[in-house]
Structure 1
Amino acid sequence: MRTNKQIILEQLDQKSSLLVEAMKNPVSENGWVFSIRKGLNMTLEQLGNKLGISKQGVRSIEESETNGSISIKSLKEVAKVLDMQLVYGFVPNKGSFSSYVEDKSKELAKRIVMRTHQTMQLENQGNREIIIQKAIEDLAFEIKQEMRRSLWD
């Protein structure tokens, strides 16, 4: 039976999969505001009038988008006056949230099992490699199922 945490993780994967497709065709280096304005054949002055700012203000918005300093609020305002929606999100570098959590679970499980193994070796009670790997796999599965907060320490 799936837990609420697992269901939420699956939903994040579903939502982010749409963003993965969008990432394959990134906007030009000039940014969305510039690209859309040019694509609509709109002048700086025309967009400025819609926003209630000068054309220099629009240029400033476009520049702040390209250098990464624009606020989400500003992007939402531009989208609103253009009768559009701003869409943003996060996409894990590992491909999916599930893969991300699985990798983190394995890392944590390995740290825990190896710490215990080292202590046992000091007491001449070390385990064989196959037993260690099985312990890591089992613990990683348990950690992922529980979605322990210690994953993020």
Structure 2
Amino acid sequence: MKKSGVYAVALKQVKAKISDLLDLSVPKPPKNGWVRSIREALGMSGAQLGERLNLSRNQVSILERKEADETITLKQLKQLASGLDAELVYAIVPRQSIDDMIEARAMELAKQRLAMSHQSMFLEAQQLTSEQQQQALVQLANEIKTGSNRDLWKVSLQEKYQ
């Protein structure tokens, strides 16, 4: 994906930031959630946290349950964090690098397209050798990567019905 100018610089910076996160070890949240665990570690009651946030003890309890159930909003978490004199840290961390994700997706699409064309070539008795198939796969994947990003992430009919 050759991009030029300001967009290319911005994209490179975003990829670098994301790459920094790949080594991040994401801790598993405590069973009762971070808010309740931190509050209890501080020796703070639910009523005391509520007082700091102009909430009732019951509202704090509800929010703590929502956090543990993963139904709380980011806004609510941020509010609770401020009452604990803490920061809410939020990130979506890819399981692999952006370039690796793009490469894998391009190869996946190339395999699908090659399989469809190979099927028709088989019917016409013009099959490719395995070496030719591999070369075609790499070439097609490179063409897909240099094409439109929107095409790269379109869900194919084959994927839709899997």
TM-score by length of 2: 0.78
Partner of 1:60: 62
Which of 45, 57, 74 aligns to 2:76? It is: 74
Which one-letter code corresponds to 2:53 in the other structure? L
Aligned length: 151
Partner of 1:117: 118
Aligned Cα RMSD in Å? 2.6
Partner of 1:18: 21
Aligned to 1:74, the other structure's residue is in SS state helix
Partner of 1:49: 51
Which one-letter code corresponds to 1:35 in the other structure? S
% identical aligned pairs = 36
Q: Deviations over 1:18-73 (max 9, x none)?
A: 365241x3231221111221222221111101111111111111111111111111
- Partners of 1:88 and 1:111 in 2: how far apart? 36
TM-score by length of 1: 0.82
Q: 1:9 to 1:62 in 2, by over 3 A?
A: farther
Q: 1:52 to 1:21 in 2, by over 3 A?
A: same
Deviates more, 1:141-150 or 1:69-78: 141-150
The answer on whether the counterparts of 1:79 and 1:85 sit within 8 Å (CA) in structure 2 is: yes
The answer on whether the counterparts of 2:53 and 2:83 sit within 8 Å (CA) in structure 1 is: yes
- Partners of 1:19 and 1:131 in 2: how far apart? 35
User: What's the offset of the Cα at 1:107?
Assistant: 0.6
Q: 1:7 to 1:107 in 2, by over 3 A?
A: farther
Aligned to 2:43, the other structure's residue is in SS state coil
